[in-house]
């Protein structure tokens, strides 16, 4: 059995590498699918793989009676979606998904990032507009292939599945915050802030629209991305979108999906920057840089004002061996 499992892992890994090699590799200012896969695979610190996180117990019954079997619970993080935050409608940072938003609202809500750079342009705050797309990470293909071995957890989504398209599906709600404005968090200062209000705040999660008030462009893009992450990880929000949901149990795997994303909560989700600066680590937004000489936004400015992040979230799973009874965590 061990040899069979090892063989499956080798074959699945080989298939995943084929997907990477066959992709259209590009290192242009915009980000391509191949670059996303490459950067995702480099972020091993984001994976946080735990091969023995607990034990699942299963009831197996047959002609000779019933018995209890066990399987190991695995825990790790998955790069669920690529969240692109950009200013020009129809020009997503992820160029392979631009067709998702092309031809819908080409003249609506064109972005503005004149205050992207710190220094002379930090003299006042500016309200800028961001388009945001959230699409299933192409690297999930490898996760799905490896999940058949029982040692990797499948995600709640699939590669290239659009969950949020601000310029096509949700263009009205993303521009006009009529319903969003009735939430208490939209009315009370300091509620649902990214950062520590009032001294170190990047921006508020509510109202969840494309308009962000910030004197640093990269932070404005990060706030817009956090808002979309907040929407798609919850059901029943006043937007037109496809929620990530909670069902990750597929085939031979019993899986526990993560809960909703919450700002300043590293257990609910973390962000890995893909563009304009590729990073191999994951962090939450809201870093306190008030007393530092260098802002979080420094060295992240992009002349095209295009940004993209991986949203990583934690999963746990067990290989099915019968009727599920219960599980314990170590």
Which string of DSSP letters, residue by residue, matches 42-109? H-HHHH--EEEEEEEEEEEEETTEEEEEEEEEEEEEEEEEEEEEESSTT--SBGGGGGGTTTS-TTSS
Around Cβ 21, how many Cβ atoms within 10 Å? 10
The total number of residues shown for the chain amounts to 330
Q: What does the alpha-carbon distance between residue 226 and residue 285 come to, in Å, rounded to a whole number?
A: 8
DSSP letters of 182-196? GSHHHHSTTTTEEEE
Q: What does the alpha-carbon distance between residue 225 and residue 242 come to, in Å, rounded to a whole number?
A: 16
User: Predicted confidence band at 27 (pLDDT cuts at 50, 70, 90)?
Assistant: very low
Q: Is the pLDDT of residue 13 over 90?
A: no
- The predicted structure's pLDDT at residue 233: 98
More confidently predicted of 176 and 21: 176
**DSSP helix/strand/coil, 36:** helix
- The predicted structure's pLDDT at residue 326: 97
- The predicted structure's pLDDT at residue 104: 52
Kindly report, residue by residue over 70-95, the tens digit of the pLDDT: 999 999 999 999 999 999 999 999 99
- Among 30-34, 112-116, 295-299, 302-306, the least confident range: 112-116
Q: What is the pTM of this model?
A: 0.86
How confident is the model over 34-44, as a mean pLDDT?
Answer: 96
Q: Is the pLDDT of residue 3 over 60?
A: no
Q: Is the pLDDT of residue 256 over 70?
A: yes
Q: Is the pLDDT of residue 28 over 70?
A: no
Q: Is the pLDDT of residue 11 over 50?
A: no
- Among 32-36, 58-62, 100-104, the least confident range: 100-104
User: Predicted confidence band at 129 (pLDDT cuts at 50, 70, 90)?
Assistant: very high
- The predicted structure's pLDDT at residue 236: 96
Q: What does the alpha-carbon distance between residue 296 and residue 289 come to, in Å, rounded to a whole number?
A: 7
Q: Is the pLDDT of residue 197 over 60?
A: yes
In 3D, which of 184, 166, 183 has the Cα closest to residue 175?
A: 166
- Among 20-29, 46-55, 227-236, the least confident range: 20-29
User: Predicted confidence band at 103 (pLDDT cuts at 50, 70, 90)?
Assistant: low
Q: Is the pLDDT of residue 8 over 70?
A: no
Kindly report, residue by residue over 260-305, the tens digit of the pLDDT: 999 999 999 999 999 999 999 999 999 998 888 889 998 888 777 7
- Among 37-41, 72-76, 114-118, 137-141, the least confident range: 114-118
What whole-number percentage of the chain has pLDDT above 70?
84
Residues 6+ apart with CB under 8 A from 186: 177, 180, 204, 206, 207
Domain parsing of the chain, residue ranges: 2-329
User: Predicted confidence band at 232 (pLDDT cuts at 50, 70, 90)?
Assistant: very high
How confident is the model over 175-201, as a mean pLDDT?
Answer: 92
């Amino acid at each position: 059995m061990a040899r069979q499992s090892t063989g499956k892992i080798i074959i699945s890994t080989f298939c995943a590498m084929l997907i990477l090699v066959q992709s259209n590799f590009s290192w242009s200012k915009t980000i391509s699918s191949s670059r996303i896969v490459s950067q995702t695979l480099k972020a091993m610190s984001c994976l946080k793989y735990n091969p023995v996180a607990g034990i699942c117990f299963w009831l197996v019954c047959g002609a000779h009676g019933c018995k209890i079997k066990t399987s190991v619970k695995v825990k790790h993080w998955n790069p669920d979606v690529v969240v692109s935050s950009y200013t020009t409608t129809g020009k997503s940072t992820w160029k392979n998904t631009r067709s998702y938003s092309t031809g819908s609202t080409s003249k609506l809500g064109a972005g503005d990032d004149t205050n992207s750079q710190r220094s002379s342009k930090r003299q006042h705050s500016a309200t800028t507009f961001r388009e945001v797309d959230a699409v299933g990470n192409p690297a999930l293909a490898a996760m799905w292939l490896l999940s058949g071995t029982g040692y990797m957890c499948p995600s709640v989504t699939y590669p290239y599945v659009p969950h949020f398209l601000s310029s096509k599906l949700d263009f009205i709600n993303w521009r006009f915050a009529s319903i969003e404005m009735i939430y208490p968090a939209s009315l009370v200062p300091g509620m649902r802030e990214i950062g520590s209000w009032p001294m170190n705040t990047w921006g508020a999660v509510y109202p969840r629209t494309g308009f962000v008030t910030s004197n640093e462009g990269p932070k404005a893009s990060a706030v817009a991305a956090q808002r979309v992450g907040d929407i798609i990880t919850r059901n029943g929000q006043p937007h037109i979108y496809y929620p990530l949901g909670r069902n990750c149990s597929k085939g031979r795997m019993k899986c526990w999906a993560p809960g909703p994303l919450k700002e300043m909560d590293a257990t609910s989700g973390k962000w890995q920057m893909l563009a304009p600066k590729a990073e191999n680590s994951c962090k939450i937004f809201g870093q306190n840089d008030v007393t530092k000489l260098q802002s979080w936004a420094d060295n992240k400015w992009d002349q095209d004002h295009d940004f993209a992040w991986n949203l990583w979230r934690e999963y746990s799973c067990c290989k099915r061996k019968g009727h599920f009874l219960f599980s314990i965590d170590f």
